[in-house]
Amino acid sequence: MSGTVKYWEDLAEAPVRRFGPLVFGGALLDQLLDLMGERHPVHDSDDFAHGTDRRQRIVPGGFIHSITSGWVVQHGAPAAIVGMRRLSWDFVRPLYPDTPFWFTTRTDRAAEIDDRLGLVETTRRVLDENDRVYAIGRMSVVLLRRAARPAATTGRKH
C-alpha cells in the first residue's frame, strides 16, 4: 500500500484528485461475476447486450465503485474512514470491459462532527479520455480526525 493514511483534515480542503487510466478487463469481469454471482445478462452476455443497444456486455455499477475506491488506496492513500453515511451513483452511459477510463474525486463539503470525527461529502466522476462521463458517484463518509488517530499496532488481532 502506498501513501500514508489520510485523515479528515487532509480531505476537508483537498483539491480535485484525478486518477487513471484504469482498465476493467474482461477476464476480471468474468472472475468477479463468478465470485459475486451478478450474472445479469447485460453483464454476462454480448448477445443479450446487443439486443439492448449496447456494443457488448457492460461492467456492473457496483464494480465501478469498488475498482475506483481500490485504485485510490493502491495508488494514492487509504482514508481513515470509520463509517459510510450515504453512497449513490448515477450511471450516465455504459462502461465496457477493456476500455480505459479515468476518474476524479472532489470534496464538496466537510464538517466537524466532534473532536474525534469529521464528515466529508465527495463527488466521483468516471470519465473517458475526452472527459465524457460514464458515472457520477456521491459519497458521504465519517473519518477520524488527525488528533484522534489510533496508536500504531504491531500486528493484527485475530
Where exactly are the structural domains of the chain? 8-148
At the topology level, CATH places domain 8-148 in: Thiol Ester Dehydrase; Chain A (3.10.129)
CB 48 within 8 A of CB 120: no
Element (DSSP H or E) covering residue 93: none
Reading the chain (158 residues) residue by residue, the pLDDT tens digits are 456 899 999 999 999 999 999 999 999 988 888 888 888 878 878 898 899 999 999 899 989 999 999 888 888 889 999 999 999 999 999 999 999 999 999 999 999 999 999 999 999 999 999 999 999 999 999 999 997 666 554 455 54
| Prediction pTM value | 0.84
- The residue assigned the cell 499496532 is 153
Cβ neighbours of residue 126 closer than 8 Å, sequence gap 6 or more? 64, 68, 95, 101, 102, 103, 133, 134, 135, 136, 137
